[in-house]
Structure 1
Amino acid sequence: MLNNNNQISIRFADEFENNLYTLSKKYRRIRADVEPVIEQIQTGNFIGDRIANLGENYFVLKVRVKNSNLHKGKRAGYRLIYQLESPTSILLLTIYSKLDREDISTNEIYGIIAEFNGNEL
């Protein structure tokens, strides 16, 4: 096993923390479902699909996460959205249940990033 001393720092946008808290009331196992994904990202394995149309300055990915409270697979699970700020820094932007909402818009992503950075759009 490779020892990685240059572990990646992960920060949490308020949007992510608020949504995780809200979803945890409905889905009791959400933290256990999300933890392995965050650990994978923290080791440098940037999983997920890049969200298009955000421009060159934003490297944002969307990961499907299985909801173990449901037995429907990843498609009906959560979507975890994160930004690769640098090779050693990740910002978890938001998480939502695919059962509760459709895809997130690029404007919403810009808004979360701007709010985290203390800017307004």
Structure 2
Amino acid sequence: MYETLPGRDTDVILLYRGTHGRDLVLYQELEQIARHRGFGLYPLIGPRNGPEGDPLSSENIRRLVPDIAARDVYLCGPGGMTTAAGRHLRRAGVPRHRVHTEAFEF
């Protein structure tokens, strides 16, 4: 989906979340797409309750994507992650109608 999204440059920004680097199984492919299309790609690695806080915190999201509240956001991942990320997005100012979610379980 990342490869075929309409837009150019930083119209599209992917925040790719994993507890460990090995969790980002498609990262090299996504990195090539990002370079080719000029898209943003940020790996967010670390535990949710680690010493540096949740990598998907509202503060971190706003730091990486300052205009996040004006964007449509597509969340895809395990139910717990998408629920938590949705809360952080609302705290970051993203209206509910701009958050589109696809949750799955392992």
**TM-score between the two structures when normalised by the length of structure 2:** 0.27
Bigger relative contact order, structure 1 or 2, given CA contacts below 8 A and separation 6+? 1
**TM-score between the two structures when normalised by the length of structure 1:** 0.25
